[in-house]
Structure 1
């Protein structure tokens, strides 16, 4: 079913991939009440991981692109769980993890890649609370991982 959100994605030139399967012993999402909790999505596109430690192997713009890809992968999980992206009432919270060198402090600028995407795609419903955290390492040396909490109808 193609609705308002799908039309916005098409206008932005964004193709949503199939939701990826978990890489370990967890589920991709959990629904409780009217909230959808989505496990962390890594910066992977077309089977290729967007890798590198920020400020050492990757720069802020590459990190923003990686965070944006995490957002696209989150949207794929939302679609898989809810069937219809127009069911999203609110993006409640994003938590972004940035693979960072010890002296890198620009994690918020990196995670904006995902935050900006959610506002572009979901409008005011995409505005959310957020944490942007620097970590010493992420799985597979990816640059960014983002998890989400979504309220739906």
Structure 2
């Protein structure tokens, strides 16, 4: 069993199927030794995770939504390259948080995804990151995150 697949099993993580695009874009683009994964929206086992941080969701709920985005990002990376052991580095995450104007804990929300990347990939999962607020997100979801992975 591959190292990352074994780590996922050890953590009790089952990746979802890589989500299909909802509009006129592709889920990922490979350019040289990088995979650019389109934004993945918060979608859990019970469907879309909707809400607005600072209004009807707290930081812990937002971080869980971000973790589900991270699972979808890993699933897309696997769809792109087939073998997660080919990931040399999680280069960057850009996280968007559906939040009120006075909400300032976007970084704590996106930590749900960042923490997952380190859990799964170890030091290879440490990355650069942006965490920003959005007045709204597609379909009313709480979080959307995109990623750049370096591959071998």
TM-score bucket (shorter structure) = over 0.9
SS in 2 for 1:132: strand
**1:100 pairs with 2:99:** yes
TM-score (norm 2): 0.98
| Number of equivalences | 152
Structure 1: how far apart are the matches of 2:29 and 2:107? 26
- Report SS of the residue matched to 1:118: helix
Aligned equivalent of 1:67: 66
Q: Does residue 55 of structure 2 align to residue 56 of structure 1?
A: yes
Q: TM-score, normalised by structure 1?
A: 0.98
In structure 1, the gaps of 5 or more residues are: none
- Deviation digits for residues 73-125 of structure 1 (CA, Å, limit 9, x no counterpart): 00000000000000000000000000001100000000000000000000000
Shift of 1:47: 5.9
SS of 2:91 mapped into structure 1:
strand
Deviates more, 1:46-55 or 1:29-38: 46-55
* Counterpart position of 1:28: 27
- How far off its partner does 1:45 sit? 1.9
Structure 1 stretches of 4+ with a deviation exceeding 3 A read none
Counterparts of 2:2 and 2:41, CA distance in 1? 26
Q: Which residue of 1 is the match for residue 88 of structure 2?
A: 89
What displacement does 1:46 show?
3.1
Query: How many angstroms apart in 2 are the aligned matches of 1:25 and 1:47?
Result: 26
Any unmatched runs of 5+ in structure 2?
A: none
Aligned-CA RMSD value: 0.8
- In the alignment, the residues of structure 1 paired with residue 68 and residue 118 of structure 2 have an alpha-carbon distance, to the nearest angstrom, of 14
